[in-house]
Amino acid sequence: MTNYDKMYETNDKYSLRGRVFQKLREDILSGKFKEHEELKEVAIGEELGVSRTPVREAFRQLELEGLIQIIPNKGAYVTGITAKDVKDIYMIRSLLEGLCARLATEKITKEQLEEMEENIYLADFHAQKGHLDQMAELDNRFHDILYEACDSKLLEHTLRDFHRYVLRVRQKTLATNTRGRASNDEHRQIMEAIKAGDAGLAEQLANRHMINAYDNMVKNGLKEIYGEATEEATKADTGSK
């Protein structure tokens, strides 16, 4: 859950710790740091030109976000995502994105709805052109709009957490053009349901959207990529008891 207010961002923007935190999160999610890689305080501090203190504090945040795992007196390691984790996240997200869409139907503002339409329109264009990077960006933004529109700081923050968490995996699997197009069609349906004020339908569609996204990932070989991460993770665990 963590916190869910704006202070958070200002906090991250203007303090060294915040900048280190954001940098490291970015690097982990983008895959610059690989799974189970060790993060050393001094090395990162030197690289960013700061002392260990802000680095350590950033580590604590990363740990709470689930991106790294800190083993006392030993080190900080990038956490691995197992195939089961991804499955669980999509199960949870399916329900919560549904709830979010339902709430958004009542609370969405005119501006948000317009940005959504624009987003879908643009995504159509990029789908035709085969611009995968832009597609991914627009997909992120679509869900972000939805999160904002539900008018629940808590739900918004929770969904954002989960969304961020699977970014690493999604980058590899959404990169198929056919799914990108289908996904955008589903976005359109959700948007139309919200526009029509049909909260129940919007919920159902958002629900389904997640399930489809997951099914697609499984089809494209999620198992092969992250299937064996489980053993390594457990191995790391036993080492510290």
Partner DNA sequence: CCTCGTATAATTGTATACAACCTTGCCGTT
Partner DNA sequence: AACGGCAAGGTTGTATACAATTATACGAGG
Per CB under 8 A, 105 contacts a copy of itself: no
Q: Write out the binding residues for DNA, residues 29-48 only, by CB under 7 A.
A: 38-42
Residue 202 binds a copy of itself, judged by CB under 8 A: no
The answer to whether 236 contacts DNA (rule: CB under 7 A) is no
Q: Which of residues 35-74 bind a copy of itself (CB under 8 A)?
A: 53, 56-57, 60-61, 63-66, 69-72
The answer to whether residue 218 forms part of the interface with DNA (CB under 7 A) is no
Residue from 76, 78, 191, 213 binding DNA (CB under 7 A): 76
Closest CA to 156 of 99, 85, 86: 99
**Which residues on adjacent β-strands are paired with residue 76?**
39, 70
Burial bucket for residue 226 (CB in 10 Å: 0-12, 13-18, 19+): buried
71: β partners: 75
Helix 52-64 × helix 41-48 angle, to 10°:
110
Q: Which residue's CB is nearer to a copy of itself, number 85 or number 186?
A: 85
Give helix 16-29 / helix 52-64 axis angle, nearest 10°.
Answer: 50
String of contacts with DNA for each residue 56-75, x by CB under 7 A: xx------------x-xxxx
DSSP state of 15: S
If one asks whether residue 22 binds DNA (CB under 7 A), the answer comes out as: no
Cβ proximity to a copy of itself, 134 vs 230, nearer residue? 230
Write out the binding residues for a copy of itself, residues 135-154 only, by CB under 8 A. Answer: 152-154
3-state class (DSSP) for residue 68: strand
Helices (H) and strands (E) in the chain, counts: 12, 3
66: left (phi over 0), alpha (psi -120 to 50) or beta: left
- Which two structure tokens, joined as six digits, stand for 194? 């919200």
Are the beta carbons of 182 and 217 closer than 8 angstroms? no
Task: Name the residue nearer to a copy of itself (CB basis): 2 or 30.
Answer: 2
* Only segment of 10-18, 137-145, 178-186, 222-230 that touches DNA (CB under 7 A): 10-18
Measured CA to CA, the distance from residue 197 to residue 93 in angstroms comes to 22
Cβ proximity to DNA: between 61 and 207 the closer is 61
Interface residues with DNA (CB under 7 A) are 15-17, 38-42, 49-54, 56-57, 70, 72-76, 239
Interface residues with a copy of itself (CB under 8 A) are 1-8, 10-11, 14-15, 17, 53, 56-57, 60-61, 63-66, 69-72, 79, 84-85, 88-89, 91-92, 95-96, 99, 152-155, 158, 161-162, 165, 233, 237, 240-241
